[in-house]
Copies of this chain bind each other. A is one copy, B any other.
Amino acid sequence: MGTGTPATETTMTSTRPTTRNTWQRAAVRDLLENSAEFRTAQQIHDLLKEHGAKIGLATVYRALQAMSEAGEVDVLRTVDGEATYRHCSSGHHHHLVCRSCGYSVEIAARPVEEWANEVAAANGFTDVGHEVEMFGLCAECSKR
Q: Does A67 contact B (CB under 8 A)?
A: no
Measured as residues with beta carbon below 8 angstroms from the partner, the interface class of chain A is 20 to 34
State which residues 67-125 of A face B: CB under 8 Å. 77, 81-83, 96, 98, 105, 107, 109, 111-112, 115-116, 119-120, 123-125
Q: Does A130 contact B (CB under 8 A)?
A: yes
Q: Does A137 contact B (CB under 8 A)?
A: yes
Task: With both chains docked as a complex, state the minimum distance between the C-beta of A50 and any C-beta of chain B, in angstroms.
Answer: 26
Contact B119 A134 (CB under 8 A): yes
Complex Cα spacing A137 to B127, Å: 6
Q: Does A136 contact B (CB under 8 A)?
A: yes
Contact A129 B125 (CB under 8 A): no
**A81-B81, A112-B112 known; A119 vs B136 contact (CB < 8 Å):** no
Complex Cα spacing A125 to B136, Å: 6
* Residues of B contacting A98 in the complex (Cβ-Cβ under 8 angstroms): 125
* Residues of B contacting A13 in the complex (Cβ-Cβ under 8 angstroms): none
Q: List 21 A-B contacts (CB under 8 A).
A: A77-B77, A77-B81, A81-B82, A81-B83, A96-B119, A96-B125, A107-B119, A111-B115, A120-B136, A125-B136, A125-B139, A126-B137, A126-B142, A127-B137, A127-B142, A128-B134, A128-B137, A130-B132, A130-B134, A131-B131, A131-B135
- Chain A residues at the B interface, C-beta cutoff of 8 Å: 77, 81-83, 96, 98, 105, 107, 109, 111-112, 115-116, 119-120, 123-139, 142
